[in-house]
Amino acid sequence: MATILVTGGAGYIGSHTVIELVKAGYEPIIFDNFSNAKPAVLARIKQICGRSVPFYAGDIRVYEQLAQVFKNHKIDGVIHFAGLKAVGESVKKPLEYYDVNVNGSRVLLQVMSDFGCKNFIFSSSATVYGEPDAVPLTEDSPVKRANCPYGQTKVDVEYMAQELQIAHPEFSITLLRYFNPVGAHESGLIGEDPRGIPNNLMPYLTQVAVGRLECLSIFGNDYPTPDGTCIRDYIHVVDLAVGHVAALKHCLDNAGVHIYNLGTGNGYSVLDMVKAFSKAIGRELPHKFAPRRAGDVVSCYADPAKAKNELGWVATHTLDDMTRDAYNWQKNNPNGYED
């Protein structure tokens, strides 16, 4: 079975994807510099998979560190998760974001090219659609200039990879545009472990639920939506991971550029999420309304039909599954991974 390099494989989405790759019979190799992950995740992956997964410590910006993996193994394809992802931090540190996300991706594509590896799957984001003109978003919806450096790095890498494919048609480039990944593996052994105060809704909810944080602030209740709060397409991280396995099979078999939305097609408001979470924990989760957060789009959800038709993939987990599994992970690991 194919050997797959997983950059950022120690992170939130990467670790879940490594497990699904092993389940599907692939040979993943994790490459990560632990800038936003903890080594403890490797033992958890081993516990879930029943075997260890090869690991290399390294930085995607360092050619030799990546090349070492390609010298030691015949890599059939790369799933590229490694990168920085905090919107607010990217506004403060734009050069760091362009260096890691864009330059790091460039170095990776160079190494792949030099070693004859042509199959590349990239973690893009619904952020490339900016403020949507219409929802649901299809893959043909316009890609816009992003309103933060993080988002722009996703747009830039999408273009860089597509331009490489034009120059070298034997490349197979898959761009996966994730909507809002949430939840955790059902074992409760791996999950999302953000550093500091979470920026994103679901880890904030889980930390309020276990008493690490006092109260959720809902950013804005005067949006033009049914309950006044913003709407997103939350997708269970295991569905997302399974989507990568489906995309990988297609990527390995077909040269070209392939773009897919990975979402459920359902839009839920922030208040819907608070209600669902309160149900999962059996009590009302403390929350209050606060001013709008700069840069938030009003409503963003996917039309996932293309992934269904071409990859045979659909998200199967419900909102209740997402809240249950997110809470289960946080309850079992109130302080995240402890090293």
Task: Determine the 3-state secondary structure of 187 from DSSP.
Answer: coil
Partners of residue 262 on adjacent β-strands:
178
Q: How many chain residues touch ligand NAD (CB under 6 A)?
A: 27
Annotated catalytic, 301?
A: no
Indicate whether 87 belongs to the interface with ligand UFG (CB under 6 A). Answer: yes
Amino acid letter, residue 195? R
Q: Binding ligand UFG by CB under 6 A: which of 101, 105, 119, 125?
A: 125
**Contact 163/182 with Cβ under 8 angstroms?**
no
Q: Pick the stretch among 32-40, 133-141, 218-226, 255-263 that binds ligand NAD (CB under 6 A).
A: 32-40
Which one of ligand UFG, ligand NAD, none interacts with residue 100, CB within 5 to 8 A by kind?
A: ligand NAD
Contacts 24+ apart (CB under 8 A), 131-134: 131/297, 131/298, 132/297, 132/299, 132/300
Q: Binding ligand UFG by CB under 6 A: which of 122, 204, 313, 329?
A: 204
Partners of residue 11 on adjacent β-strands:
none
Q: Nearest to residue 6, comparing CAs of 120, 118, 93?
A: 120
State the catalytic residue, choosing from 150, 223, 301, 327. Answer: 150
Q: How many chain residues touch ligand UFG (CB under 6 A)?
A: 21
Indicate whether 100 belongs to the interface with ligand NAD (CB under 6 A). Answer: yes
Indicate whether 235 belongs to the interface with ligand NAD (CB under 6 A). Answer: no
Which one of ligand NAD, ligand UFG, none interacts with residue 16, CB within 5 to 8 A by kind?
A: none
Kindly provide the b/e burial profile for residues 51-83, where b requires at least 16 CB atoms within 10 angstroms of the residue's own CB: eebebbebbbbeeebbbebbeebebbbbbbbbb
Output the smallest distance, CB 283 to ligand NAD, in A: 27
H helical segments located in the chain: 12-23, 40-49, 63-72, 87-92, 94-97, 104-114, 149-167, 201-209, 237-253, 270-281, 305-311, 319-332
**Contacts with ligand NAD, residue ranges (CB under 6 A):** 7-8, 10-14, 32-37, 59-61, 81-85, 100, 104, 123, 125, 178, 181
**Contacts with ligand UFG, residue ranges (CB under 6 A):** 85, 87, 125, 127, 150-151, 180, 199-201, 204, 216-219, 230, 232, 270, 293, 296-297
